[in-house]
Amino acid sequence: MSTTRLLLLGAVRVFQPVHGYLLRRELLSWQVEDWAHVKPGSIYSGLRTLASHGLVEELPGDPVSYRLTPDGEVEFRRLLDLSLREPEPGDAARLLAGLCFVTVLPRAEVREALRARSLRLEAAVSGAAARRRSVAVDRLAPATTAELFAVTGHWLEGERRWVEEVCERIDAGHYRFAGDAPGPDLPVDGVWPPAVLGDAPETG
């Protein structure tokens, strides 16, 4: 639920005021059904749930539009920070949702959150290796159980390497974070600006 909530709050924040149909169309263009397991019909029910919890406000009209409340902004920031700092081995959906909105934060804050994630991943890699050794020594579980911890270790180590790589890109000036020089931050005719503005094709 936290992943769906983060996606809905973040998307409302980007496009507010926005009605459910446009929000649904935008989120489906991000293919959230594939990687976040968000079904199209659940977007409308999710918005109603957020409204009942005071996290979004329903604006009268036909159709009804939504915008974030102050409590919704607090919850959005909490979930975004959690998505960047806390690994969830075996389920990347929360991280992927956070990456959709990461540029609302200052660059230094993103770097600090990812550094914290890297430290947790290092500890988890060590833990998986220790559990793998324990299975071999204690023989209290089938020998093949060791492979569970082997593959988990590889997943965690792969994610740790990605954190290093994305931090290098962030340090090199990729993406536009809060506090950076202003520029085009929203899609134009359905096309979002590039990661580095110098990569944009010339127009005119």
pLDDT digit string, tens, across residues 35-65: 888 888 888 889 999 999 999 999 988 888 9
Angle (CA) 196-93-156 rounded to 5° is 85
pLDDT of residue 180: 84
Q: What is the pLDDT of residue 198?
A: 57
Q: What confidence score (pLDDT) does residue 164 get?
A: 93
What does the pLDDT read at residue 75? 96
pLDDT value of position 201 = 47
178 beta partners: 106
Q: What's CA 66's distance to the chain center, in Å? A: 21
Helix axes 107-138, 145-171, angle to 10 degrees: 160
| pTM score | 0.83
Q: Write down the pLDDT at residue 8.
A: 94
Q: What is the pLDDT of residue 92?
A: 86
CB atoms within 10 A of CB 72: 24
Q: Which residues in the chain land under pLDDT 50?
A: 200-204
> Rounded CA gap, 12 and 20, in Å?
9
Which pLDDT does position 60 carry in this prediction?
Answer: 86
